[in-house]
Chains A and B, each alone.
Chain A
Amino acid sequence: MDVVIASSSIDGGIGCWDLQTGAEQLRYKTCASPPHGLVSVGRRFLASSQLRDPSATSGHVLYWSWSKPQAEVKSFPAEPIKPLAADSEGSYIVGGGSSGDIYLWEVATGRLLKKWHAHYRAVTCLVFSEDNSLVISGSDDGCVRVWSLFLIFDDVRRQQASHLYEYSFTEHTLCVTDIIMGYGGGSAIIVSASEDRTCKVWSLSRGRLLRNIVFPSIIDAIALDPGEHVFYAGSRDGKIYIAALNAESSPSNSYGLHIIGSLSDHSKAVTCLAYSTERNLLLSGSEDGMVRVWDVKTQNIIRMFRHAKESNAQGFSR
């Protein structure tokens, strides 16, 4: 069963719906998470970092099993954690702290395995690569960095290396809002979105910028088409722009270079996007609290879920 999960920054719990039938499942209680703060760990359980008062010194992460609405486990990391990510098997969880540190926990034991200083400012998003060997992090200082877990765990090489990261991309001028990674392991592409109104496409193998796309508004969420022909960019003006990666785009169109078109439902700002590869559906969460399911071929909405006043994170599981 494919389910859609959504949480929001205002306490509305975690909404959970069956994607096929549209039936609402269990609603998991007490969850107010920041963007990228909700994750399903190996499709076995849910984890979500919690928003804290600015004065709070420790973080707060809650864990739910699929069957119970109440949080089963709580943990309190050393500092407020915003983004969370888990590898595909669900054996590790990484979290990004507000001081720029990245934490790596082992799920089986709950131990903190590694912690390293990754950025000069707060970490805003984290992604695992397909083969779980790389972690890509984006930060408030506009920096996107690629970390190899092999190096992180290799104490000898770590001592010798002048820097821990594999690549550090500093071309963004403002806070990075979302990162996705393409397919193809070491030669994949990385797409990052930022508050500077641009999305940038990077080559992982060559470590350089491949493309810079300027949007009419700030992009908060991106999702990749499985064929990597295009990517979808959810913007603050409520539209989902379609930007060309490998597709042809005419040099003159209304939105700008490389932007092919847009999906629009006159909603409020789009806060998150996800792509269901099995069903070829695009899911978008918006600030008005709705989760919309798009058929990308016809560009129509085929389903809508009402979550809360505001929704901001979602994923697929089971």
Chain B
Amino acid sequence: MVRSKAPSKKQQKKGIDFKKIKRKLGRKLPPPTNATNTEIKSKAIVLPEQSVATNKEGLAVSKKGLTLKELLQQTSHHNAKVRRDALMGIKDLVLKHPAELRLHRYAVIEKLRERISDDDKVVREALYQLFKSEIFPGCAEDNQGLFISLVMTYIFNAMTNLSIDIRLMAFRFFDLVVQYHPPCFSLYAEKILQSYEDILRKNQFYLEDKGKLKSTLYGLVRCLSLLPSKKPGCQKNILGERKIHAFEPDLPTENTGFSVIIKKLKELVLVLINCFQDFIPLLNSMPQLDAQSFDCILSILQSIDIAVRFFIYGNHEESPEANPLQVTWDQTLLSGLSKKLLGVFPLYPKHHLSVKEDDRYFILNIVITEIFLHLREWICPSANVFAKFLEFMENALLGKTCSSTRSGKATWEKHVPSLLPFIPKLVSEVTTDWQSHLLEAFTKTFRDCNPESSLKLACLSMIEEMLIPRGDMHYTEASDPVALDYQTIWIRELPLLLILLGDKWPSSSQVVLHLLLRLGQFACWNSSLIWEYENTQFALCEFYSTCREGNIYYGPFMRLPRDSQELSICCLYYFSNFSTLLLKAITSCCLCPELEPYVLFRIIEVVHAAYKAGHIQFADHISFFITLLSRFKVYPENICPVKESDVQISNCGTFKSLTCMVCSCLSQMGDSSVVFRILEKAILDLISLKPQLDNACAMLRVLIMLDSKPTRLSEQSIIALSNFLPGYLMDVVHCIPEVDGNEVAVSNHVQTCRYYLLPCFFLFDRSNQLVKLFLNVMGSSLTDSSLSLESHNSTQYVTDSLSRMNITVSLLLLIYKDVKVQKIMSLFRTEIGSIMQSIASLQVWFCSVNFSSMKSPYLCKQNLKYV
């Protein structure tokens, strides 16, 4: 546009100044001066966002203000320091915001796993700590399979890394994974074992760096201990299940799939044996066995031990071979084990420098012995070798090889139990000579160890195994004379141990009691054992209670928890000849007010069952019951109509149920007339001693329960009763204060009275003679008092006789409330009349002296007239 204008202008201006402008062809016109520059020039400006300035409100940040995303990015930074800081930052962030980890766990793990084979040691260590402290615990509960598989690929990668450090670290990572997710070992078992084998073969490094080797071996021990070497425990918690026939999914157990690794494991064992052998010269050259080498050797030995156990006891059902044991033991392995490992036994210190060293060698020797004992049947050792091990066992049990310091003793207690499980089998197989040696040593161990230690418990379970036949019924009556001596010692030791344990270690006591019970149940097969069991009852008396100089000392039984008490009660049933002494001890426990009612009733139940089975003498049993009824202390002494549920205030309810229970037991004991004949005299003798009201009532109840209508009571007893009953009935009225007020209270009062009066009513119903005598005694006592009143003049005496009269009146009122008894009483008008007479005369006398409490006699009179 600009250009086209220009020539036209020239034409116009031609006339003004004829200046010719020369134009050269092919040249561009210079731009006109007034031309507008239409070119647009631009340049990009990059302004990176500054992290300080961005708004991170609401986002989870670490201490340094970085988000998780940023931190994860930084973990792959080329600078090791930054990477480490990033890991620290993640730890920091997760600590503050645990939800962040849960949300992004897969993203986190996918990024972090790359660092497992990081070149820098510090970074790996930081990662390990991060995994250990935050990530694994944080992701423990959810779907672990995926999580683990994400990590495992990288761990395997690291395990084959060229750098030895990274490889060792990978084992530590794997160890961590196994800790949090044990099934992961069974998934990758073959690969893992291969890796361990590879690293252990490279033995040039470990003699220098034992610390790293140690941690690797620890991991190996942990992995191998996941191998099934025992029967899986099937005892599930049974209480929680709500339905019996509920569906149970058939999940494969964790133990499946191990049989494929047998071959791999064998190779690993060979490598481990070589490792062990490499250590031997080192031991000899070193002045002292230091902690790290000790740990390494111990781990090696433990790994071998576990592997051997797996070969022998593991379930190899899935392996195609019919008998896996035959296949498992190829000769190289066996000869390797017996030459290189068992051949160097026993290890002993060359220089005797410290006590601690002794203990270390002791532990190593124990593990080797264990391996030997597992293998014994497969390697068929020569007598010489066998004797070497037996000797060690004996010395170990006797505590000879261990130092006598405190730590040495602790080591001994900790490690000897692992030898004990072999004893029952060994004892049955070795020669008599060794048998007695071993049993002697075992018995000494059992005696010497602390009663509450785990060693004692281990001993007890071995004793149970040796005493009680397991399963097979093809028993022989003639048992080993050698073993029998020791068995006797053990059984005798049990009650003493029980008393020694006291109430401080209830779980140990429980074990002992359980053993005693089993013994009672199953000892019949051996007459001498049952004899010993019978004899424990004398020692057991002290466990319940002892009586010295009239004082009763309660044994540990009273203070043990209820289930232990129940167990000990059950033991009683199996004494085929219950001694009177033990029954006495138990009776005094029963009479102790601190004993729970439940336990009391259990004791009675079991004692009665024992009687029924013919284990208790009739006389003993009867006196047990009578003692309970007559000596049981009911508190409070004054009866007040409390509710029976108030156990805190009164044990009256307990005593009532006790009476009930004794009655029903007595009624089961046979022909009631015979039992009555036997009991009659005893009860009347006790009654005449004027026991407490409740006890008297209980005994009367027993009498009427066994009696029939008409009564079987002898003449003599009737007279005795007629002398006793008035006092008893007056006491009842006296002790149960009459209440005024609402109907509930009154009826409650009548109920309470009735409980005590009812036995008397039964007696009255069954014997008219008794009623007559009873009324006579009542009458004469009243006449006596009225006669003596005139001679005595002390106020005290007057008050007494006044109250006695009042009580008599209210008693008569109570008696007349019962329709049936009223009928009986109507037969004895003369006697009743004479009583009324004396009451009347007493009243007249009271009126004449114008005694202060005139009111009540009048009231009585009114009431009686009504009667």
> With an 8 A cutoff between CB atoms, is B867 at the interface?
no
Check A195/B473 contact, CB under 8 A, given A141-B521, A174-B573. Answer: no
Residue in A142, A246, A287 whose CB lies within 8 Å of B245: A246
B609 touches A175 (CB 8 A): yes
Closest residue of chain B to A145, judged by CB?
B473
When chains A and B are docked, how far (Å) is the Cα of A308 from the Cα of B303? 72
A121 touches B472 (CB 8 A): no
When chains A and B are docked, how far (Å) is the Cα of A196 from the Cα of B566? 9
> With an 8 A cutoff between CB atoms, is A201 at the interface?
yes
Measured as residues with beta carbon below 8 angstroms from the partner, the interface class of chain A is 35 or more
> With an 8 A cutoff between CB atoms, is B782 at the interface?
no
Closest residue of chain B to A248, judged by CB?
B242
> With an 8 A cutoff between CB atoms, is A173 at the interface?
yes
Q: How far is the CB of A21 from chain B (nearest CB, A)?
A: 33
A210 touches B242 (CB 8 A): no
Question: Which of B18-26, B233-241, B345-353 is near enough to bind chain A?
Answer: B233-241
Question: Which of A12-20, A161-169, A272-280, A294-302 is near enough to bind chain B?
Answer: A161-169
> With an 8 A cutoff between CB atoms, is A140 at the interface?
yes
List B residues 233-265 near A (Cβ within 8 Å).
Answer: 234-236, 238-239, 241-245
Check A218/B605 contact, CB under 8 A, given A54-B614, A143-B521. Answer: yes
B606 touches A210 (CB 8 A): no
Binary interface profile of B, 710-725, with partner A (CB < 8 Å = 1, else 0)?
A: 0000000000000000
> With an 8 A cutoff between CB atoms, is A211 at the interface?
yes
Check A245/B244 contact, CB under 8 A, given A140-B613, A175-B573, A210-B238. Answer: yes
> With an 8 A cutoff between CB atoms, is B355 at the interface?
no
Closest residue of chain A to B668, judged by CB?
A287
Binary interface profile of A, 194-237, with partner B (CB < 8 Å = 1, else 0)?
A: 01110001000010111110000010000000001000000010
B244 touches A246 (CB 8 A): yes
Residue in A116, A162, A208, A228 whose CB lies within 8 Å of B244: A228
When chains A and B are docked, how far (Å) is the Cα of A245 from the Cα of B517? 29
When chains A and B are docked, how far (Å) is the Cα of A301 from the Cα of B751? 30
Check A228/B567 contact, CB under 8 A, given A120-B522, A175-B573, A212-B238. Answer: no
Chain A residue numbers with a CB within 8 Å of B605 are 195, 197, 218, 236
B524 touches A120 (CB 8 A): yes
Closest residue of chain B to A187, judged by CB?
B245
- Interface residues in B, total, Cβ within 8 A: 33
When chains A and B are docked, how far (Å) is the Cα of A218 from the Cα of B242? 23
Check A162/B471 contact, CB under 8 A, given A54-B614, A211-B238, A212-B239. Answer: yes
A211 touches B241 (CB 8 A): yes
B517 touches A173 (CB 8 A): yes
Chain B residue numbers with a CB within 8 Å of A228 are 244-245
User: B238, B244, B523 — which one has the most chain A CB atoms within 10 A of its CB?
Assistant: B244
Binary interface profile of B, 508-538, with partner A (CB < 8 Å = 1, else 0)?
A: 0000000001100111110000000000000
Residues of A within 8 A of B (CB): 54, 100, 116-118, 120-121, 140-143, 162-165, 168, 170, 173-175, 189, 195-197, 201, 206, 208-212, 218, 228, 236, 245-246, 248-249, 257, 268-269, 287
Contacts A/B (CB < 8 Å), 30 sampled: A117-B473, A118-B473, A120-B523, A120-B524, A121-B524, A140-B613, A141-B522, A141-B524, A141-B574, A142-B521, A143-B521, A164-B473, A173-B517, A173-B566, A175-B609, A175-B613, A195-B573, A195-B605, A195-B609, A196-B570, A208-B235, A209-B238, A210-B241, A210-B244, A211-B241, A212-B239, A228-B244, A246-B244, A248-B242, A268-B664
Known: A197-B605, A249-B242. 9 other contacts (CB 8 A): A100-B524, A162-B472, A163-B471, A163-B473, A174-B573, A196-B570, A208-B235, A246-B243, A269-B664
